[in-house]
Amino acid sequence: MKYNVPVIPGDGIGPEIVAEGCKVLEAAADKYSFSLDWKEYSLGAEHYLETGELVAEDTLKELSKYPAIFLGAIGDPRVKPGILEKGVLLTMRFYFDQYINLRPVKLLEGVWTPLKDKTPQDIDFVVVRENTEDFYIGIGSRARRGKSHADFEIKRSLYNIKFGLDIDSDSEEIGYQIGEVSREGCSRVIKYAFDLAMKRRHQVSSVDKANVLSDIYGFWREVFLDVAAGYPQVKHDFNFVDAITMWFVKNPEWFDVVVAPNMFGDIITDLGAMIQGGLGLAPGANLNPDGTSMFEPIHGSAPKYKGQNKVNPLATIWAGALLLEHLGQPRAASDIVTAIERNLIEGRIKTYDLGGSSTTSEVGSEIARLVGLV
């Protein structure tokens, strides 16, 4: 069996960590007698600075033929913040309609958590972040004093929406951003969360701010309840986003599957990463179960560490394991996670963030070696 997998190393530390990811996935492929054929795409800052192009429509079309993409990180200090993140990363998430952003929060054996007295038994949940709507739709602008008009359009495979906005303001200048969630969009991601809970501990926690942003998140809650009615075996609860940050720290053992709108999901998963040992250990998957999915660490491109062979590749390697699981190689995937765990318990070969002094590539090689042994 041969899998063709597009790889986007991206910016900053992206190329270094992705190289280790590929190394480990190849070791797992050898073990289980399948092969991986990587096809590299040079998207990100270099490509943008050379050509002025973010990502070409033809590239997106070509990528959409594959079930899974392996991604490093996007973002570079030479480019104004947001240009690459929105123009490359979010463009791909939206174009491929990757409506699920799956972020496991699992404390592995051998990892230190800043939460006192919490163990791997206590920190083991999954955040299912909606990945195409909410305040990420890019609808907003600025307006100066007086009358003005603005037109916006949201184009998705699910729907097209046009907004026309008449503004009459006597403020010197305003900035505004419109959030939007749809019944279809909420329903499909919440359903995914309930299906996942059926395979886990049968509990789904919703995140919102329905007490203040009641139009958008009151609607989210309503759709949540509609979906929940179809899963009588699964318990559910509602959490305001501010409160859930507190519970993640105080009682992480309460959670099984947490489902959140896009922006809150973004915020709470950085907190989630920290309680599972840091950003160096937090993988993510952007999923479209019927299309092209994309696997990446949840951390960014860490430009200040670029080219130093210093950063932790484990989040990317773990994201690679999620990729193999998605491609239908669950045993290869679970061996990679076991190898990561073995490495962490042994505690010999680890990067600086975990208190060690090994290099990125030493850690990658060690995980690849362990994959052969576990």
Among 312, 277, 275, smallest CA distance to 297 is for 312
Instruction: Give backbone dihedrals phi and psi of 146, rounded to 5 degrees, phi first.
Output: 110, -160
Q: How far is the CB of 68 from ligand IPM (least distance, A)?
A: 17
Query: Within 13 Å and on the Cβ side, how many CA atoms surround 96?
Result: 31
Q: How far is the CB of 299 from ligand IPM (least distance, A)?
A: 8
Q: Print the binding letters for residues 264-293 with ligand IPM: x by CB under 6 A, - otherwise.
A: --x---------------------------
Q: How far is the CB of 281 from ligand IPM (least distance, A)?
A: 15
Q: Print the binding letters for residues 42-81 with ligand IPM: x by CB under 6 A, - otherwise.
A: ----------------------------------------
Q: How far is the CB of 298 from ligand IPM (least distance, A)?
A: 5
Report long-range pairs for 21-24 (Cβ below 8 Å, ≥24 apart).
21/70, 21/313, 21/316, 21/317, 21/319, 21/320, 21/364, 22/70, 22/320, 23/364, 23/365, 23/368, 24/317, 24/320, 24/336, 24/339, 24/364, 24/367, 24/368, 24/371
Residue 85 is a binding residue for ligand IPM (CB under 6 A) = yes
Q: How far is the CB of 33 from Mn ion (least distance, A)?
A: 37
* Residue labelled with tokens 């062979």: 309
- Choose one: 85-93, 118-126, 221-229, 253-261; the region binding ligand IPM (CB under 6 A): 85-93
Q: Print the binding letters for residues 193-232 with ligand IPM: x by CB under 6 A, - otherwise.
A: ----------------------------------------
Among 105, 49, 106, smallest CA distance to 78 is for 49
Nearer to Mn ion, 269 or 358 (CB): 269
Cβ atoms of residues 69 and 8 within 8 Å: yes
Residue 353 is a binding residue for ligand IPM (CB under 6 A) = no
89 binding partner (options ligand IPM, Mn ion, none; Cβ < 5 to 8 Å by kind)? ligand IPM
Judged by CB under 5 A, the chain residues 212 through 271 that form the site for Mn ion are: 266
Q: How far is the CB of 270 from Mn ion (least distance, A)?
A: 6
Query: Which of residues 298, 323, 333, 370 is near ligand IPM by CB under 6 A?
Result: 298
Question: Sign of the C-alpha dihedral, residues 17, 305, 283, 278?
Answer: positive
| CA distances in angstroms from 143 to 136, 151, 169, 177, 212, listed in the order given | 20, 13, 8, 12, 25
195 binding partner (options Mn ion, ligand IPM, none; Cβ < 5 to 8 Å by kind)? none
Cβ atoms of residues 19 and 320 within 8 Å: no
| CA distances in angstroms from 166 to 137, 147, 151, 209, listed in the order given | 19, 7, 9, 27
Please return the burial class of 253, using the count of CB atoms within 10 Å of its CB with bins 0-12, 13-18 and 19+. middle
Nearer to ligand IPM, 72 or 329 (CB): 72
85 binding partner (options Mn ion, ligand IPM, none; Cβ < 5 to 8 Å by kind)? ligand IPM
Q: How far is the CB of 370 from ligand IPM (least distance, A)?
A: 28
Nearer to Mn ion, 266 or 366 (CB): 266
Residue 133 is a binding residue for ligand IPM (CB under 6 A) = no
Q: How far is the CB of 92 from ligand IPM (least distance, A)?
A: 11
Start-to-end CA span in the chain (Å): 22
285 binding partner (options Mn ion, ligand IPM, none; Cβ < 5 to 8 Å by kind)? none
Residues 177, 136: Cα–Cα separation, whole Å: 9
Question: Judging by DSSP bridges, how do beta strands 100-106 and 160-180 pair with one another?
Answer: unpaired
Residue 89 is a binding residue for ligand IPM (CB under 6 A) = yes
Among 298, 236, 238, smallest CA distance to 105 is for 298
User: Which DSSP letter does residue 87 get?
Assistant: I
Nearer to ligand IPM, 227 or 298 (CB): 298
Question: What residues line the site for Mn ion (CB under 5 A)?
Answer: 266
Question: What residues line the site for ligand IPM (CB under 6 A)?
Answer: 85, 89-90, 266, 298
